[in-house]
Amino acid sequence: MAAPQVQKTLNRDVPQDKVRNIGIIAHIDAGKTTTTERILYYTGRSYKIGDIDEGTTVMDWMDQERERGITIVSAATTTFWNGYRFNIIDTPGHVDFTAEVERSLRVLDGGITVLDAEEGVQSQSETVWHQADKYNVPRLCFINKMDKIGADFRATIASIEERLGARTAVMVVPIGREHEFRGIVDLLTRKAYVWGSDDLGATFDEIAIPADLTHEVEISRHALVERISETDDALIEKFLSGTEPTVEELKAALRRAVIAYKLVPIYAGSSLRNKGVQPLLDAVVDYLPSPLDLLPVEGIHPKTGEKETRKRVSSEAFAGLAFKIQIDPHVGKLTYVRIYSGTLASGSYIHNSSKGAKERVGRLLLMHANQREEIKEAYAGEIVAVVGFKDTITGDTVCSSDKPIILEKISFPDPVISLAIEPKTKNDQEKMGFALQRLAEEDPTFKIKSNLETNQTIIWGMGELHLEILVDRMKREFKVEANVGAPQVAYKETIKIEAEGEGKYIRQSGGRGQYGHCFLRIEPKGRGEGNEFIDEIKGGAIPKEFIAPIEKGVKEAMENGVLAGYPLVDIRVTLYDGTYHDVDSSEIAFKIAGSMAIQHAVKLAQPTLLEPIMKVEITTPDEFMGDVIGDLGAKRAEIAGSTKRGAVTVILALVPLAELAGYATTLRSMSKGRATYYMEPSHYQEVPRNIQEKIIAKRV
């Protein structure tokens, strides 16, 4: 078979049932980008295969991605396979860039989860799997790196069922293992395929099933047929009566089961060695949904709050979700939009129902990583980039003005780490404000706060790598030089008991005075439930126009806490009484009174500090296991369990982020460079009293 021809322009006249919107999701280093590069090559989208180690990948186009060999931003592209159109998003595996995965999964119809055949299911595999569960994304699993030493196909399937709770449909049996891996047997068709060499894998041969595998193939096929039949009443009757369903019937039933999240087909291969990718592409066509296979998209009417639906067809009213903002040096701000229904035309005006604003579609672009192709019109089921939107941000719904709808927003986790940053020169000062604002537009997990006392800017992110990349981008893309402080843990404050507080602000300075007076009741809420403000004023004790200023004063005071200046969280605040003065009362007086009342109440409600706890997964050779566990014990860690995997042990622990500064170096020196670790935010919990006192003493 000859190498595929590269496509310069895209044939976009593909019926909707032949469109697949898919994402590649996985743990860091499982081989997502390598797999995507192979898909682009075999579908003819690229004329040569990009290599991460050489920095020639198409999807990892940023300088920082190529230098570090990791994916930082999700990249979108469109390609074709056997008459089907694939819109693909390659997502990052590193937990610091979890926002990129979250927003991609929100707009995808199907996913390919890539797993390392030696490592099996890892922490981030679990995280992205549960993110996909949240948005009901049907998916396939591709067990990659089958040629790696220690690769274990069956153990990986067992970990998928055990750790991910997935009901698997094993579609292939590998031929050979570790360095002898050379192909697969397709169980449904009983056909064996081998890839002769690592010659870009464009050529493969169909062979007779190897004799030593015939028994395993028949047992595995019987199990597969039974599992598929169980999902379909007509097939199970046929199966139980001793008649085997046809391959076509099985494929149709499996497709329905995958779309209904009942089964997850499992494939295997080695992307780096160019083996096993083509059957995966056929599986995307056969089993993952087109936009037409999914239920109509649901939302609410912005004015009435009533439920609204849109069929996923081009003849419906236009509705789409802005899921990503990207600053492009050549065309300015790009807003990525997933179109759920209707059509979007270049030069038209649409309605942003989340903001109640009108937006103009300046230009429409089809993206291929960082390359652009201009188009005039886009239809239901497509993912496009729009130039010209001014007010639209990530998570906003855009729709036709005559049939408004608001779709489900995208939720993002809170940042866990911060650092102080200040411009090096006066010239850098203005540029820095602009750069930070632009980067915050792109990244919903990146927060900026000014510290008026120290004149520093504090930036918040999901991890040290996240902040390091953002500071690096500021230098490269916006030419801003800055001094950067050491990373700080993002503590929070909360309360333990219910309490009441009074705020009374009276100023008399000749002429008109200031008078504001209110009573608040506060009570703790469940961890992660957020803050809530309730107005229970009866009989006009405080006039209506002063309620909002009190709420504003309360919110501003909660931003800076009372113990050590950290934000107050998970508190219900009830405004239940107060007094006012006919002449002297003003909005500013009540805002100050609200601020005073909340501070008074919090001091009486046993305030306490919360710290971020990280889920840490350490893979260590057995000989260093005792040292690693001993060190974790000294770090206030809670060991959640350990799993033996070959000659290594994987330790799962929950560790306070404050104890993990410089952990990479500690672990390397403890294990002679042989142990590795991975961490991701888990939850917030109370800081022990003795450590709280030290933190408060430092801040005061």
Binding residues for GTP are 26-33, 90-94, 144-147
Tokens for 352, please give them: 């942003």
Tokens for 447, please give them: 């927060």
CA triple 477-478-479, angle to 5 deg: 100
How far, in Å, CA of 575 to CA of 558, rounded? 15
- Please list the helix, strand and coil fractions of the chain in percent, rounded to the nearest 5, in that order: 30, 35, 35
* Beta carbons of 144 and 271 less than 8 angstroms apart: yes
For the chain, counts of helices (H) and of strands (E): 16, 38
Residues 6+ apart with CB under 8 A from 171: 186, 187, 188, 224, 265, 266, 267, 279, 283
How far, in Å, CA of 65 to CA of 74, rounded? 11
Side chain identity, residue 30: A
The gap from C-alpha 103 to its chain's centroid, in whole angstroms, comes to 6
How far, in Å, CA of 225 to CA of 235, rounded? 9
How far, in Å, CA of 157 to CA of 141, rounded? 9
The pairing of beta strand 383-387 with beta strand 307-310: unpaired
How far, in Å, CA of 422 to CA of 436, rounded? 11
Task: Give how far Cα 594 sits from Cα of 574, 580, 605, Å.
Answer: 11, 13, 16
* Beta carbons of 471 and 477 less than 8 angstroms apart: no
Burial code (b: 16+ CB inside 10 Å, e: under 16) for 659-685 equals bbeebeeebeebbeeebebbbbbbebe
Closest CA to 611 of 467, 699, 495, 493: 493
Known binding-site positions: 26-33, 90-94, 144-147
How far, in Å, CA of 110 to CA of 138, rounded? 5
